[in-house]
Amino acid sequence: KQEVTQIPAALSVPEGENLVLNCSFTDSAIYNLQWFRQDPGKGLTSLLLIQSSQREQTSGRLNASLDKSSGRSTLYIAASQPGDSATYLCAVMPWSNYQLIWGAGTKLIIKP
């Protein structure tokens, strides 16, 4: 059974730092992987989607990588800003069905 883990559960860093959020999954048979952010009490915003054939995707200061063989994805945030403070969730779409499997999220706080 596919399981998705995000470590750490919470992270606090000073503004301006580059940082990496981690997502690991137990079954490499994935169709794609998606990163989201969620602000407190709000819905999810899609950040990046990586298909299984891709190694990375970039959007602005965000870069997501995918290594299926090791069961890992990372979300790299460059030059962090206080506005990046949110919970970041990763979700894996298995090959075998159509339901996303979700990680529990990493709560990120960027200190001014």
User: Cα(28)–Cα(76) distance, rounded to whole angstroms?
Assistant: 21
42 sits near other proteins (criterion: CB under 8 A): yes
100 sits near other proteins (criterion: CB under 8 A): yes
- State the Cα torsion 21-26-31-32 to the nearest 10°: 0
Q: How far is the CB of 99 from other proteins (least distance, A)?
A: 5
**Residues 59-78 vs other proteins: string with x where CB under 8 A?**
--------------------
57 sits near other proteins (criterion: CB under 8 A): no
User: Cα(79)–Cα(15) distance, rounded to whole angstroms?
Assistant: 7
